[in-house]
Amino acid sequence: MKTTIAKIYFICMAVFTSSCVKDLLKQQPTTELESIYFWKTDADATYAMMGAYADVRPLFDRDYYFDGQGEYIRTRGTSTTSGNLQRGDAYNGGDYNPSGYGDNFDKMYENLYGGVNRTNYVIENVTKKLLPFASATSIPELERIIGEARFLRGMVYFRLISMWGDVPYIGHIIYDNAEVMTLARMPIAQVKDSILADFTYAFEKLPVKSAEPGRASKAAALAFRGKLQLYWACWNQFGWPELDKFVPDGGAAVTAYKAAAEDFGKVINDYGLVLFRNGEPGECDVLGKAQKLPNYYYLFTPVANNDPEMIMAFTHGGTGSSQGEELMRDVAGRSHEGSQCWVTPRYEIADRYQSIITGDFAPKLIPMDPAKDGARTTLNSAVNPQSYANRDYRMKSSIMWDYEMSVGMISLKSTGFLPFIYKTWNQPVTINGVNYVTYNTDGCNSGYVLRKFLRNYAGQGRSDGNYNYPVMRLADVYLMYAEATNAVNGPQADAISLVNMIRHRGNLPPLNASKTASKEVFFNAIEQERIVELFGEGQRSFDLRRWRALERVWNPPYGNGIWRIDTYGAQMSRYFQNSSEREYQQCYIFRIPPEERNRNPKLTQNTPWL
């Protein structure tokens, strides 16, 4: 698939893209070449479908930025560049701080509709120009291609309603932007039904398992259909007052929770899917060493490409393909191929990693300046490496603290292990008689950097990775199933077992009975696992909004807000200080882009942005 995309993306863009780049629909595949040379063979349908994958991928493959809107990731901007969709234009200009972000996603809105138009182009042309004339042997493959396009369209519209609520719905090719400028916003319930129909068609027509990396399967369609129903249940249970005319319905919530659980149950039971390396924790090196890293670390390297846990992942081409992923550039520092460290852990994530001995939270870390006598040896000091002993293996896999090692890389060659020591960038240091140069990064202000997504081998540049970025993992399905069943029936034995399987990959013992004694405490256990298991994968901010949990996390309006600190105890940033109800509301729903409203008088604005 990587090779196919590499060959046809530029063909598709040259042949099928109009020059209208500032309008809502950025792709208008309407040239005379289309009717003369294209849509003649089944191969044409496949090429067009690969072009749709190429266009939709950059709308989802850097979702770790969204974690900056939560409590545990700091995003100091993005490495995306304006005007280049293949390098993440949809994310460009977005605000990924915990507050004040809802008016900064005009580019995402615009590019999501570009994805809608590209998928509509495939659906309509295959349906009208190829399917009616296809042989019996060609029909299944053509229906599969329509199913894939509808699956991608469903993903795009799901993102649109998750951020903006009611949105215009476009289910056909747009040949004139004048038509777009007459479309009103469709109520979210109707858009949701259309998305469900897309996922259902995809489920019916897609293969049980795709033979080609990165292409959707039945399990992917079911998983996303379940996730949509889970979100619909949450919006109905917890309400969405910022969305005008949306009336929550407790009965609809229960129905949606049950439907979500049913879909997730089929994904879990019907397709032979298993967690990466059977969910075993693997080996975990001693503190300060990184020769042996847990299995969870390798889940976020190319070793896990095409693994059954990756229910849906977008492929990247690697070196020389112009389609490499930029994970290392975003999560690592200068010592790793000149990376820029746009994304780093916040201090507060460390306390979320539980003890492998007790299975519960360890004593809270104590921020201390290392210049203070005994700071490096004081029990539970945040700058004492021993304070991180015997923790959830996902901690060693996900973040690095003082004296943790990673492999440095310059000019595609390894420079050997280098220790991270906060505020000692690129300095000589001797550890146990061995000379090192410390990790050089200009993006960390917490005392931690990411190990998750950081390659531990040389040979690829910072933007040349070939990791298949996951947008749906089996572990997420386990946790969503547990959430959905718990919401209706409280803790269930199968759901508890699934959560414990997730915990086992961190080498944690099963949940204590007190953690499954009621619906409320089991939800807390599920949320805890979502925080550490899905850390840095773009889920947290969407969870906080669908659960209406912003006030729980950041305190009620008009309060003092909450500081984010570093391992030294310094106050780095304060969020939601004296914030009004309106400012919270603006985090629950995004602003319809003013430029689109200027062009289309029928587009109403979300209430908090009036």
Q: Three-class SS string for 374-423? A: CCCCCCCECCCHHHHCCECHHHHHHEECCCEEEEEEECCEEEEEEEECCC
pLDDT at 472 over 80: yes
In a domain, 258, yes or no: no
- Return d(Cα 444, Cα 451) in angstroms, integer: 13
pTM (two decimals): 0.94
Confidence of residue 36 (pLDDT cuts 50, 70, 90): low
Model confidence pLDDT, tens digit, residues 263-280: 999 999 999 999 999 999
The rounded distance, in Å, linking the Cα atoms of 498 and 355 is: 19
Please indicate, yes or no, if residue 210 is contained in any of the structural domains: no
Indicate whether 411 belongs to any domain.
yes
Q: How many C-beta atoms lie closer than 10 Å to residue 143's C-beta?
A: 18
Are 602 and 182 within 8 A, CB to CB?
yes
In a domain, 346, yes or no: yes
pLDDT digits over 244-263, tens only? Answer: 999 999 999 999 999 999 99
With respect to residue 35, please indicate whether it lies within any of the assigned structural domains. Answer: no
Structural domain includes residue 408: yes
Length of the chain: 610
CA 594 to chain centre: 26
Closest CA relative to residue 535, chosen from 475, 603, 575, 579: 475
Domain that holds residue 408: 295-307+316-467
Confidence of residue 8 (pLDDT cuts 50, 70, 90): very low
239: region left, alpha or beta (phi > 0 left; psi from -120 to 50 alpha): left
Q: Enumerate residues 6+ apart whose C-beta is below 8 A from 573.
A: 74, 97, 563, 564
pLDDT beyond 50 at 6: no
Say if 409 falls within a structural domain: yes
Tokens 């700071």 belong to residue: 375
Task: For residue 88, name the pLDDT band (cuts at 50, 70, 90).
Answer: low
pLDDT tens, residue by residue, 94-147: 999 999 999 999 999 999 999 999 999 999 999 999 999 999 999 999 999 999
Q: Is residue 303 part of a domain?
A: yes
Domains held by the chain: number? 1
What pLDDT sits at residue 322? 82
